[in-house]
Structure formats: C-alpha cells, structure tokens
Amino acid sequence: MKNHCLAFLIGIISVALYSCGKKTDKDRAIALVESKYENSSKDLNFDDAKLDSLYNISPQAYSDSIKKGDELDVTLAELESQIEHLSQAESDSVGLISAKLTKERYRLLDLKKIKPQFIGWKLSGVATVGDRSKILSFNFDKEMTKIVP
C-alpha cells in the first residue's frame, strides 16, 4: 500500500513539475524576440504584448461574407420578381441596381472560395523603452520557430 501511495505521489509531482516548466506560445514568442534583440541597446517591455493567430482571411470576415452573400441572394431574387411588373424606365433602374448587387455577389463568392487557413502567429503591443518609445509587432511561422516578415 505504501509503495502505491509513494508511486502515486511521485507521479503527481512529476506531472506538476513538467507542466510548470512547459512554455506557453506567448513565452516562446517573447523568447524569440528577446534573442533577436539581445545584442541591441533597445529595452523591450512585454507587459501589454498580445499573441494572436494569423489567417490568410479572418474567420469572422469569411463568416460575414457568407452571411452577406446569402442576404444578397434573397435581395436579388426579390428584385428579379419585381422587374416583370414595372415599366421600362423603372425596370432599367432596378436592372442597374441588380447588376451592381450581382457584381458584389460574385466578389463574395470568390471570397467564399478562400477558406480561412492558419498561417502563423503575431505578437503585438511590444513597447520599446527609452526616449523614443514605439510599439512593435512581430510575425512568426506556424511552428513559432522563427520571426518572419
């Protein structure tokens, strides 16, 4: 019984030490930036730094384009049904509006084809300390192994 308790206690301590020593993605990003600036006279402040994921198109913009496209489809269908009952001049005006909406719909359809893809990380809000303090941002690859332009 004592051996089981001792083994269990050692297991818990090992897991606790491993999890405490494990770096977060933000810690890894900060370490890469610090290594880049270790021979520089610039002092960096990471207190307000924020780590965000980067996508080729933001998931929110993708979702919005699908929603707007669906709304445009409904509007275009309504316009098409109303054109039949209008005079020639009114029909031409509605046709111009319909053409502009259709052009926008095709643009949104092209955007829909570009699915959001994760392309890396961005550490923003890094402040330089000194006379000319600036806010810096850094981009990283997917694996967060290097700083990329």
Bigger pLDDT: 73 or 111? Answer: 73
Rounded Cα–Cα distance for residues 144 and 26 (Å):
10
- Predicted local confidence at residue 139, as pLDDT: 92
pTM: 0.55
Tell me the per-residue pLDDT of 53-89, one tens digit each, with 9 for 90 and over. 998 888 888 888 889 888 988 888 888 887 777 788 7
- Residue position matching structure tokens 């290594």: 35
The domain segmentation of the chain, as residue ranges, is 23-56+117-149, 58-116
Least confident of 18-22, 50-54, 111-115, 117-121: 18-22
